[in-house]
Structure 1
Amino acid sequence: MTDDSTTDFFAPVRGSLAGIIALSVVGAASSVVPFIAIVELARILLPAASGEPIDEARAWTVVIVAVAALVVAVSCAFLSGLISHLADAELQVSLRRRIIRHLQQLPLGWFGRRSSGSVRKLVESDVTALHQLVAHSIQDVLTAVTVPVVSLVYLFATQWQMAVAALVPLLGVAVCYPLMMRGAGEKYQQYDEATQSLSGATVEFVQGIAVVKRFGQLGRSHRRYRDATKRYVHFVDEWTRETAIAFTVVELICSPVTALLILLSAGAWLVSAGLATPIDILPGVVLGLGLTAPFIKLGASGQFLRNAAKARRALSAFFALPPVSQPVEPQTTEGADVAFDDVSFSYDGEHRVLHDVAAACAPGTVTALVGTSGSGKSTFAKLVPRYYDVDAGRVAIGGVDVRDLRSRELYRDVGFVFQDVQVLRASLRENIRLSRPDATDAEVEQAARAAQIHDRILRFERGYDAVLGDDANLSGGEAQRVTIARALLADAPVLVLDEATAFADPDSEAAIQKALSTLAADRTVLVIAHRLHTITGADQILVLDAGRIVERGTHAELVAANGRFARMWAEYQSNHARTLPEGAAR
């Protein structure tokens, strides 16, 4: 099920949000009462200086009301802050669980087109960015509205001229702020781009500094970082200059000193004109000073609110991604043969990557896919485990369309090992056991032995309990053998293999090849071949070009046909004559 409405974000904390709103309004209104009490006490006590009697009962009533309002204001602020932070924690947990559930439902191809950093941004950065909305912004906004409204209502009820004077700074902000924020949308976008560029250049420079120093290219590598820094500084400097005057004006208008000068000037004029007494202007002076402070606090939260709004849009777009479809009437495979029936596929719905591809992979055979970069061989292989769904035709296992299999059954039938090794910061035992969480320790060890990684694991002090990144560090080839052990433990009858030795070091290649031989035994194997000498014994080789199968046959048949594969083989022999295993070049 997909989630289309962003309002669902707050469904788990909707009751808490109502409580936060109520407490914030009551607390903000109560915080004004003590200032009103000061004015009323002044009205009661100041006449005593001229000998008039004091209404003690009324004075004590005002004091009691002020103290009670202060207690209410502090209590509401405390409870509102407590509830808002508890609600924020609940929302973050709810969203992270929802993200994980949605990630589990997305097609595997979605992950292949994105880095782990983009997924981490969703789970961590974007969810955390919503903290400001729930934990702080509701209180800030309601305070910024309630305090001025309550103050102005009282002022208009007691001395409307001072109420008008108190509005002058707010009207000044209302005029200047739009001028200051003119074109801000485009500027914020440019700021984000400059920040991302600087971040990317910094990471690239730091990660590659050892290599570039070794080869004497430090200046060239540093240039991109330096240029990105200059662009960022230039942009920020230019934007600051453009908004400096308006920003300074807004700060001056919102300053308590400015508000005090305006209020005192208005009060002095009213008293001198005989329109008010000194006690009449006191409410305006006391309450008018507190009107601009909430707006200043709200303005300071603008960047946090913008980040939260961006995070909300990103999460909305993520939850709108359609999950991989599940069959209404799921079926079960009978056999391990794989068939491609007139398959066509495109990533964007317009530009086809595969065109009417047809192929059959018999149980217990090895089918190799070869072709130049961009020929479609990786896409072809990834259709079997439903990294993507075909636009036309079908991919079938045991006579059943993969779209008619539940995901659990599909991954029980199909195992895959690709070049981009994925290991977790967990024990080696748990890394291997990922494919079968209920596997015994003996079964894990057996898979590791077959994958040629058992002896290496035992060299760690904690052996299989060693945690990657803490107690254990593996080379690329060693990590690849851990993923092969994982695939062996799954024991799936169909295997999709992106030749794992393509970038392996010479010491690891032999061990990986031996492990792969064990893995491929008695399985239907579809292998993407980069090193042609590794597939000379394949049962069939499919040669792809521009998304079409242009040749098929055994190695000997294709070489004898003197076609595209024969030319690829001759070129491969020429380029790798010194490194080919004995007999492979014959």
Structure 2
Amino acid sequence: MRLIRLLKGSVKYIIQQIIWQWLSLFAQITIVWQVTQLIDKAWQKSITSSDVLTTIGIVTAGLIVRFICDRLYSRACYLASVDVKRALRVQIYRKVLWLGPSYREQIRTSEIVQMTGEGVEQLETYFGRYLSQFFYALLAPLTLFIVISRISLRTSIVLLIAVPLIPIVIMLVMFVAKKILGNYFDIYYGLGDSFLEKLQGMTTLKIYRADQRAVEQIDSESEQFRKITMKVLIVQLNSTSIMDIIAYGGSAAGIISALIEFSNRSINVSGVLMCIFLAAEFFLPMRLLGSFFHIGMNGMKASDRIFAFLDLPEQKRGEEEIAGNKIDISLDNVSFSYDESREVLHDISMNIDSGSLVSIVGVSGSGKSTIAGILLGKNHNYSGSIKVNGTEHREISSKSLMENFTMIGHNSWGFKGTVRENLLMGNPRATEAEMIEALDKVNLKSFLEAQNGLDTRVESNASNLSGGQKQRLALARALLHDTPVYIFDEATSNIDADSEEIIMATVKQISKERTVILISHRLANVIDSDAIYMLKDGEIIEKGTHKELMRLKGNYEKIFSEQSELENYSRAREEA
């Protein structure tokens, strides 16, 4: 019922399917009645050429009606399927948007992909075939009962009594199959997640020679999936065999009843033939429903997964919009923990003025990236107060945050396609001149001109570019996004010194016009910052400009000196 309420647009197509099937049944009854009347007249040797021509005309008309009804039924099935797929995928997409950047804390990306693919396909068939067949399977036997009861009440009762045995079998199978199908989808989604993880980590697996172990694990999980699939098929095949026995047995019982009445001269030749020809029609709709049963069960299990996702708690965000291009940010006694066992941030207070360059530094695990996650709306269960232009962060919509904040991390993804396509993700309306200007700012223009310009091919995750080139391409894309606030989270880690120098020059240029939050482990990059916040164990232990912090002779000065000595030593070794 929840599915039907959710997919109101599909209900009209389900009703249409039932109507076309029902009209097709009436056409079939008419054809059988006319043929049996002709046979009865032949039996009585009173047949005329007019009777034959009338029968041919009515049968032809009936077949045409059935053909048209079947075509319209198929079209209604198609429209219901299309409507269901569109509506469900829109619902899932909207839910991802509502969950915001933190959706991966509650569900795996691979599961969402499988849900929108296989899960929705299961419900497509459920709505396109199963539901209409369910209602028609109830309507058709009642219609045939009324027709046959006018010929032989006893035969119609015998047939009607046998029909409910099929749904009883279906209910028993449902009881057995429910748990099996639950395990089936658990293993299916688990296999998809495991496969995606190992595919993404293939390089690491190769480096540590763990690829063979990964293959064995995938083989083991695949074998487990094969076994559960075979269990599902065994249940389906067994239930189909039982339903066939009931359907054919019920038809045989009805035919025997009609023959007995014919031998007792209770009904004529036309009547007994009507009972024989329509006996199978009594069971075909319910039998077809039984064959669709596994689709219905898969659909119900798929809907359980989809509804579990749609029911995930969402960020309680407001609908406020950030106005203007000048953004001031203030954090007041902000604390955050991923779970109750450990507090990641404790009483963080800082002011980030519009058009300033503010750096957050500290050792790994001190909470730097967590602050970036909170500002972007990924980590939302914080305590304290965060205000953006005077508006509480929780009251700002996720859409507005995404439109005003841009984050560049050390692992920004490069998508398979062209440089042009990657850049247009930052700004779909960017002109060619604007894209070339952005590439020039990050010193990629000359390199790409020697290739194929904006049409230079980019492999998945920009694997055909060096680490520095990939990061500079990500920075060019971010420049085109053109937001008031930029967050650089270790954007220069794991790249060569030349690329780091280019990126830092671009960061400083951006900070002249935009608010920049720089998170860096290398303190040489933050010297020109308007304010530096030093974190340790989730707390701010020092703050000020570079000169002020150096005069303090505290943690910042100690780490900066150690890094400088190490870099000077490395440089001297290279020169030697």
TM-score, normalised via structure 2 length:
0.80
**Cα distance in 1, alignment partners of residues 536 and 269 from structure 2:** 92
2:226 counterpart of 1:226: no
| Per-residue deviation, 1:450 | 1.3
| Per-residue deviation, 1:496 | 1.2
Q: Deviations 1:231-261 (Å, cap 9, x if unpaired)?
A: 334445566667876654334334x4x4564
Structure 1 286/401 Cα, relative in aligned 2: closer, same or farther at 3 Å? Answer: same
| Per-residue deviation, 1:224 | 1.0
2:2 counterpart of 1:10: no
- Work out which of the residue numbers 62, 83, 89 in structure 2 matches 1:69: 62
**Counterpart in 1 of 2:21?**
24
Structure 1 458/174 Cα, relative in aligned 2: closer, same or farther at 3 Å? Answer: same
Residue type at the aligned position of 1:23: W
- Work out which of the residue numbers 68, 73, 79 in structure 1 matches 2:72: 79
- Work out which of the residue numbers 273, 276, 288 in structure 2 matches 1:285: 276
Residue type at the aligned position of 1:465: D
| Per-residue deviation, 1:360 | 1.6
**Cα distance in 2, alignment partners of residues 204 and 104 from structure 1:** 23
**Counterpart in 2 of 1:367?**
359
- Work out which of the residue numbers 182, 188, 203 in structure 1 matches 2:181: 188
What are the equivalent positions in structure 2 for 1:115-264 lying under 5 Å apart? 117-121=110-114, 124-167=117-160, 170-203=163-196, 212=205, 216-236=209-229, 248-254=241-247, 256=248, 258=249, 261-264=252-255
Q: Is the 8 A contact 1:180 1:247 kept in 2?
A: no
- Work out which of the residue numbers 421, 434, 441 in structure 1 matches 2:412: 421
| Per-residue deviation, 1:578 | 9.7
Partner SS for 1:393: strand
2:82 counterpart of 1:89: yes
What are the equivalent positions in structure 2 for 1:169-568 lying under 5 Å apart? 170-203=163-196, 212=205, 216-236=209-229, 248-254=241-247, 256=248, 258=249, 261-267=252-258, 269-270=260-261, 280-312=271-303, 322=314, 325-327=317-319, 332=323, 335-345=326-336, 353-362=344-353, 363-373=355-365, 375-389=366-380, 391-402=382-393, 413-425=404-416, 427-461=418-452, 463-466=453-456, 468-469=458-459, 473-504=464-495, 508-521=499-512, 523-531=514-522, 534-535=525-526, 538-544=529-535, 547-553=538-544
Partner SS for 1:542: strand
**Aligned residue-pair number:** 569
**Cα distance in 1, alignment partners of residues 234 and 88 from structure 2:** 40
Q: Deviations 1:421-479 (Å, cap 9, x if unpaired)?
A: 24445542343244444443222212111122223322332x11345449x85445433
Residue type at the aligned position of 2:171: P
**Cα distance in 2, alignment partners of residues 314 and 176 from structure 1:** 26
Q: Deviations 1:515-559 (Å, cap 9, x if unpaired)?
A: 444444554322233455544665544344554434445567668
Structure 1 263/505 Cα, relative in aligned 2: closer, same or farther at 3 Å? Answer: farther
Q: Is the 8 A contact 2:174 2:297 kept in 1?
A: no
114-123 or 181-190: which moved more?
A: 114-123
Partner SS for 2:360: strand
Partner SS for 1:158: coil
Residue type at the aligned position of 1:189: G
**Cα distance in 2, alignment partners of residues 281 and 100 from structure 1:** 58
Partner SS for 1:452: coil
**Cα distance in 2, alignment partners of residues 230 and 133 from structure 1:** 28
Residue type at the aligned position of 2:163: L
**Cα distance in 1, alignment partners of residues 43 and 34 from structure 2:** 14
Structure 1 488/241 Cα, relative in aligned 2: closer, same or farther at 3 Å? Answer: closer
Q: Deviations 1:304-342 (Å, cap 9, x if unpaired)?
A: 3344445555555666665774546x5635844431122
| Per-residue deviation, 1:286 | 1.4
TM-score, normalised via structure 1 length:
0.79
Partner SS for 1:163: helix
- Stretches of structure 2 that go unaligned for 5 or more consecutive residues are none
Q: Deviations 1:369-424 (Å, cap 9, x if unpaired)?
A: 43443x44323123334445565433234445445667676556533212342444
- Stretches of structure 1 that go unaligned for 5 or more consecutive residues are none
What are the equivalent positions in structure 2 for 1:13-52 lying under 5 Å apart? 15-48=12-45
Q: Is the 8 A contact 1:496 1:525 kept in 2?
A: yes
Partner SS for 1:292: helix
Residue type at the aligned position of 2:331: F
Aligned-pair Cα RMSD in Å:
4.4
Query: How much identity, in percent, do the aligned residues show?
Result: 22
Structure 1 567/356 Cα, relative in aligned 2: closer, same or farther at 3 Å? Answer: same
**Cα distance in 1, alignment partners of residues 204 and 278 from structure 2:** 65
